Amino acid sequence: MNKKPIVAGNWKMNKHPKEGFSFVDEIQDLLLDINHVSVIFAPPFTGLFEMNVNPPFYSAAQNCHWENSGAFTGEISVSMIKDCGANYVIIGHSENRQSGETDKLINLKIKSAIKSNLKVIFCIGETLQQKRKKITKQVLNKQIRFGLNKIKIKNNIILAYEPVWSIGTGVIPKKNELFETINFIKKKINKCKVLYGGSVNPKNIIVLKSIDNIDGFLIGGASQDPNKFIDIIKKTYN
Ligand code: PEP
């Protein structure tokens, strides 16, 4: 585990702004003296403006559009996200890939974010079918190659390895497999931080945090419950 791990919570389409605001307040109050870990909250767009966070707490959008303005109904630009005070944006989440987001669009979004100095949490991961076919490395390689096409400076990009078969299922990869996959990703992108995401909970965090090369976690379900999220954060740095 990295010396200063990152724990990011993706709330997906949950929590209205007021709920999000009090959730974040509660967590910040209960973790007043933490500085060995960075905590990122990713609310829905409507809650982003209400985020009132100070380091080591940060906020993130769950997606963005690649253009800065224009006729893109329902979309939000990077500058709008920055205007809300957010520091990060999640790009390439498998739930968006499944509804049609391509590597090409992901690449445009990442370029737009880093051009404006918005940090990126770039999600990659194989499906169960791809895992069974033993093509995980080819899949990740393609997602990385196309997603980061023509992006030279990558220091504002954090990778999140999220096997699709692990998201929301309660199943996590075997320790040695995860170590190997994270190593594979790190060899592709020099000095890049890699988070793990997929069914992280207060129990399995003990095993997961013992994997040396992981730099932190991206958490869906368990990040929406204050007790579970705090438990995970504390166990991550203790
Ligand atoms: C996610 O959707 O990014 C995720 C990791 O979800 P969960 O923790 O619920 O598996």
Q: Tens-digit pLDDT profile for the chain (238 aa)? A: 667 899 999 999 999 999 999 999 999 988 887 888 999 999 999 999 988 899 999 999 999 999 999 999 999 999 999 999 999 999 999 999 999 999 999 999 999 999 999 999 999 999 999 999 999 999 999 999 999 999 998 999 999 999 999 999 999 999 999 999 999 999 999 889 999 999 999 999 999 999 999 999 999 999 999 999 999 999 998 7
Residue nearest to atom 7 of ligand 1 (CA): 220
Q: Are 66 and 75 in contact (CB under 8 A)?
A: no
Q: Could you tell me the distance, in angstroms and rounded to a whole number, from the CA of residue 221 to the centre of ligand 1?
A: 6
- How far apart CA 235 and CA 206 sit, in angstroms, is 7
Q: Which atom of ligand 1 is nearest to the CA of 123?
A: 3
Tell me, what's the pLDDT at 2?
65
Work out whether strand 57-61 and strand 38-42 pair parallel, antiparallel, or are unpaired.
parallel
Catalytic: 36?
A: no
Tell me, what's the pLDDT at 222?
98
Q: Could you tell me the distance, in angstroms and rounded to a whole number, from the CA of residue 232 to the centre of ligand 1?
A: 14
- How far apart CA 8 and CA 187 sit, in angstroms, is 23
198 lines ligand 1 (CB under 6 A): yes
Tell me, what's the pLDDT at 7?
97
- Confirm whether pTM is higher than 0.75: yes
Q: Are 80 and 119 in contact (CB under 8 A)?
A: no
Largest separation between any pair of C-alpha atoms in the chain: 48
